[in-house]
Structure 1
Amino acid sequence: MKIRPLYKVSSLGLIFLLTATSCGSIPTDGSVNHYADPAQSASASAADIQAQGPSQNASPEQIVRGFIEAGIGAHDDYTVAREFLTPEFAQTWQPDDKTLVYRDQVNLKQGGKSEDFVVKVPVTTEIDKKGIATSFDAAENQDVNITVKQVDGQWRIASAPNAIVISRANFEKVFTPFTLYFYDSTFTYAVPDTRWFADRSTVATSLVRVLLQGPAPYLEGAVSSAVPEGTQLNRNSVPVNGGTATVDVNTAEPAANLSQLDIERFQTQLTQTLSQLNGVQAIQLSVQDQVLKQNSLDDYQAPVINPDVGPQVVGFSGKDMRMSENFRDDSNLTTIYTSDDAMQLPAMGYKRQNFAYLNAARNSLNWINSNTRKTVMMGEMLTQPSFDQFQWLWSSTSDGEVKAISIANRENQTPRTISADWLKDYTVSSLKISRDGTRAVIVTQSGGESAVWMSGIKRGSDNTPEALMEPIRLSSTGKVSDAQWYSDSSVLLADYSQGSTEIVNLSGEVKQIETLDGLASISAAPGSETALAHTQDESVYRLLDGRWSRIDISLEDANFSG
């Protein structure tokens, strides 16, 4: 069965991101994943790999095998691999169109004619020209058809697919994950989008080219781009000289029609995407060789990457809902609301003016503002409330009916049902909205199995939420009860039945945390990458250096903003 970690729709119409067990590696058994955090040494490792060119009087089979092995030589536009091709074919071959990663070894067979060969490739990962990766839970055999001919008495390849074939071990040395950045509708926050490319001198060109083409499918309709519509590279390269990457583009409309705000945002998007490359300190943006004026808006604020939600937490103390100015201690507590009825699973808006909680039966969601409580949502086994940046309050019933209600004012407060047809066969146990408001992380249960999903949020022109789009799946090492945003590109997962927790990154890296007996709830603060855990004996723990360390605070169910 084919599984695309970010972008392949399965038979259920859902998308999967499988788990990598360590940074920079693909698991050797079971489900395959090539997602991992970029290694600082990736460029050096790739540079150390030396592809070997064809030997004199090599046989047709040796030429074909040598060509396959030369796929490790990504530098200089696969110059060594092109030496195995006829001069004509070497000019037209496009190796970046597709990358086939194989496990074990390839099997070479003679075709119908002596000049024809079929390479049987047990593909575990496939990457397209946009850097979008497809993985397989079992190796899938693909045929690579190659034809050879003699050129000046030497065998050379006259036809082959526009692709390279590379072993898994070499893939890990040659390819690196990179992050493109897109934005929420207000251009306040940056939203990461992971892609994979060979780490070579032309990677800046690859990143800019796919950035201009737009976000990955699961983010389409959820994020915005500062790239003017119809923009393309004016030249087929993004040179980097003296620390400056020069980006020259063609736009559908004249550069004179671009506002200075448009230019600043475009410049920011390029800078945030390219600054992850070693040696890039600045960007020069031009339209058809006309350099655009930059940094001329005094009040311009660049979209923020991984914003900090702050140290404040909301929780319970007896009959009171209270807010603490700092999760580390109880030195500054404010009573938000007092109730004789039981309260649980609190939430707090980002401006710390709106609060919410569920009743004991989890069938009533209550909103608090200015010490006034109002029941705004009803449903069976509601998930913990979650606020977004656009002043919408979210929850889901256990049967997958996702609801959101505007808290911008007290009039016409009717919960809005959010379209999410893909959830209809699942029991929902957790739903949290990202700080940027473009994504939701959702935990579902079905047939004794749990799953963690990340879905783009489609909104109307006024930022009213309309739908949770087809998601990607984040895998875990075990069952999952709850998920909290740990950063803009990672989530903290918990299995309350086992007391286990782990952090899963969008790149696929998984960091397991020590087990905590009696684990009852978790919360996390994106931006500061801080997390709290509460146990059944009312103890509170803070995550430090991959371990839970007990802290002395009195609030129960303490939860950060969001």
Structure 2
Amino acid sequence: MMRLRALAAAAATALAAAVLTACAGLPTSGPVNAGVVISDDGASGDVVFIPKGPVDDATPQQVVEGFIAAGSGPGPGANWATAREFLAPEFRDQWKPSGVTVYSPGQRRIEEISESQFQLTVTPIATVDAAGELLTADSSEIPLDFTLAQQDDGQWRITQAPNGIVLDETRFKTVFKMYSLMYFDSTWTYLVPDDRWFPRVNAATSIAQALVNGSPSPWLEGAVSTAFTDDARLALAAVPVDADNVARVSLEEGARGLDQTVLNRMQTQLTRSLATAGIQGVDMVVDAQTLPAETVPWRPTTVDSRPLVRTADAFGFASGSSAGSGTSIEPIAGLSEAMLTVDATDIEVNADRTTAAVRDAAGAVLMVGADDAIATLDRRTGLVAPSIDPFGFVWSVPAASPTAVFAYSETGAQSAIAGAWPGAVQIVAQRVSRDGTRIAAVVRDGSRYALWVAGILRDRDHAPTALGAPKVLATLAGAPTALAWLDAGTLAVLESDDAEAVLYTHEIGAFGEASRGPAGATTVAGGLPSGVRVRAADGELYAQRGANWQHLASGIEVLAVQQGSPR
């Protein structure tokens, strides 16, 4: 995903000049100037647009164009004060700037319906709602209507306009930035990102308001937990950041009476969420008194940097340049011996490396343990590769029956998962996130393939019971073959045929990117810090290195998925 990093003050002038050059072609009622605004919330150095207000005697179309262009300048309070100058006085407080329509640069047109009516037509690639959640669009044109009236002073002003702002993708990524609200899983063990897009100015305030006073994105409801309750809402809306880059979050009086564990979890959520905006510390205060709190430890979802593979005579972590030709493979105690007794085509190993979910050559789903216990869980026809979650449940589903998702406990007990992939007619792959809160799938929902993700709902014993409403991340152009979680918030889909392979990566809550992969690639695995690994049908193993692919090994029969690392 494209992001602008915070820039050193010495480089700010040069970058501002570059932004000015990029803006020259935008039709407005006046030039759109860019400057460097040093915010009070740790976002120092971000380049922001400073559009001009309406010029005297501007035509109605110039007023509309100027208003649209002013969407690039939220202003110090992120209230779009300049944009409001194009509105009639009685309409200024009615118009709400929350929400963004994002379109590809150049893909818009404006038409004059009458002297006082204009219609802007855009083909959105995404929308951002009032809570900052980005949703992909279906590429259909949408009309946006504007009505104007001549004021007593003879100047034209807008009297009716849709709420929200309209930005092309390039400018959107300059005005807004993606930040992660951090929630916990149901066991308070893992931190789970909920990505939102907020204006770069006053980012600390936007993040704190969304985390403390808001709620998780709808698709995550019930799948994640938060320490913030009605007793601990914001007492002051603004979150100032001092010279040491420490944010001061003022909470209501009820926060004083909260348990120390709750306060520590609140501190952790705030600290990790605000860290995505470059904030280095957080003070939670009530009536100017700092609450005693510290961050709690959480379990990371990192994996071993070495690929986990199966060859003809070994299973374990590979090192060297040709693991399949005798280069060292480090076995996993107990589990490797058990795996060599199974004719596996797909393998996913739990974080503790004690259990693996396996699809064998006959198409059945098995659970293989380090104690040599092997249990056949699912014999349905056409099963996709299984996935194992942190609680030991193995997830399985037939390709032709996407709604028939079963989860099997460590004892082999089967549970049907309610609400699984509604509307899908085929499923190519599904993978549970390493924190166990989400599940991703590549499905066919009619004539197209798509990448979906959903929250996992669990009972008091952490057994999965249902999926939340799925979030559609992307429509896929090619024929997908495999799916993997690269980190806590990024997915990879391999689209492959005999001629070429495409690796599509998608950060949840952001935009996807496609890159060329090795010819014949069939499976993908990845994680932090290992990066992306791909296995081709001929047993060759590759690692992504920037825009290139480095050959790692030959003779690889299975590229296994790691669900984390032991504590």
Query: Contact between 1:330 and 1:553, CA under 8 Å: does it hold in 2?
Result: no
Return the match for 2:140 from 138, 141, 144.
Answer: 138
Secondary structure in 1 aligned to 2:205? helix
- Count the aligned residue pairs: 506
Distance 1:302-1:228 versus aligned 2 partners, 3 A rule: farther
Superposed, which structure 2 residues align to 1:335-414 within 5 Å? 335-337=336-338, 342-398=343-399, 399-400=401-402, 401-407=404-410, 410=411, 413-414=412-413
CA RMSD, aligned part only?
3.2
- Answer with 64-73 or 414-423: which moved more: 64-73
- How far did 1:393 drift? 1.6
Pair 449,107 (structure 1): closer, same or farther in 2 beyond 3 Å: closer
- The amino acid across from 1:129 in the alignment is A
Q: How does 1:523-542 map to 2 (within 5 A)?
A: 523-524=525-526, 526-542=527-543
Specify the alignment match of 1:271 in structure 2. 271
- The one-letter code matched in structure 1 to 2:276 is Q
Answer yes or no: is the 8 Å Cα contact 1:330–1:554 preserved in 2.
Answer: no
Matched, 1:494 2:497: no
Structure 1: unaligned runs, 5 residues or longer: 1-22, 25-36
How far the C-alpha of 1:543 sits from its partner, in A, is 2.6
Displacement, 1:435? 0.7
Following superposition, the deviation at residue 167 of structure 1 comes to 5.1
| Unaligned ranges ≥5, structure 2 | 20-33, 36-47
SS, match of residue 256 in structure 1: helix
Contact 2:305 2:530 in 1 (8 A): no
Aligned counterparts of 1:60 and 1:144: Cα–Cα separation in 2: 10
Give the aligned partner of residue 188 of structure 2: 187
Query: Could you give the per-residue CA deviations for residues 58-88 of structure 1, whole angstroms, max 9, x where no partner exists?
Result: 5666545433433322223333333344666
The answer to whether the Cα contact below 8 Å between 1:356 and 1:366 also exists between their aligned partners in 2 is: yes
AA matched with 2:316: M
Once the two structures are aligned, what percentage of the paired residues are identical? 26
Alignment of 1:226-375 (within 5 A): 226-229=227-230, 231-242=232-243, 243-250=245-252, 254-278=254-278, 280-295=279-294, 300-302=296-298, 304=300, 307-311=301-305, 314-318=308-312, 322-324=315-317, 329-333=327-331, 335-337=336-338, 342-375=343-376
Does the aligned pair in 2 maintain the 1:313–1:325 contact within 8 Å?
yes
**Separation in 2 of the partners of 1:221 and 1:404?**
18
- Between stretches 337-346 and 70-79, larger displacement belongs to 337-346
Match of 1:434?
A: 433
Partner deviation per Cα, 1:444-479 (whole Å, 9 max, x = no partner): 346674332212111112211111222223333422
Distance in 2 between residues matched to 1:342 and 1:54, nearest whole Å: 72
Q: What is the deviation of 1:522? A: 2.6
How many angstroms apart in 1 are the aligned matches of 2:485 and 2:228? 28
Distance 2:436 2:205 in 1: 30
Paired AA for residue 281 in structure 1: Q
Aligned partner of residue 390 in structure 1, secondary structure? coil
Summarize the Cα distance change of 1:513–1:118 in structure 2 as closer, same or farther, 3 Å threshold. Answer: closer
Please state if 1:122 is matched with 2:118: no
Q: What is the Cα deviation at residue 338 of structure 1?
A: 6.5
**Is 1:322–1:333's contact at 8 Å kept on the other side of the alignment?**
yes
2:100–2:128 contact (8 Å) kept in structure 1: yes
Indicate the SS of the match to 1:481.
Answer: strand
> Which residue does 1:513 correspond to in 2?
516
TM-score, normalising length: structure 1: 0.80
C-alpha contact 2:148 2:156 (8 A) present in aligned 1: no
**More displaced stretch, 51-60 vs 375-384:** 51-60
Q: Does residue 107 of structure 1 match 2:111?
A: yes
Report the TM-score when normalising by structure 2: 0.79
1: CA distance, partners of 2:255 / 2:170: 46
Mean CA deviation greater in 376-385 or 363-372 = 363-372
- Superposed CA deviations along residues 261-290 of structure 1, whole A, max 9, x for unmatched, are 211221221222222224x32222123544
Deviation per residue, 1:410-439 (Å, 9 max, x gap): 4xx322111234356422221211111111
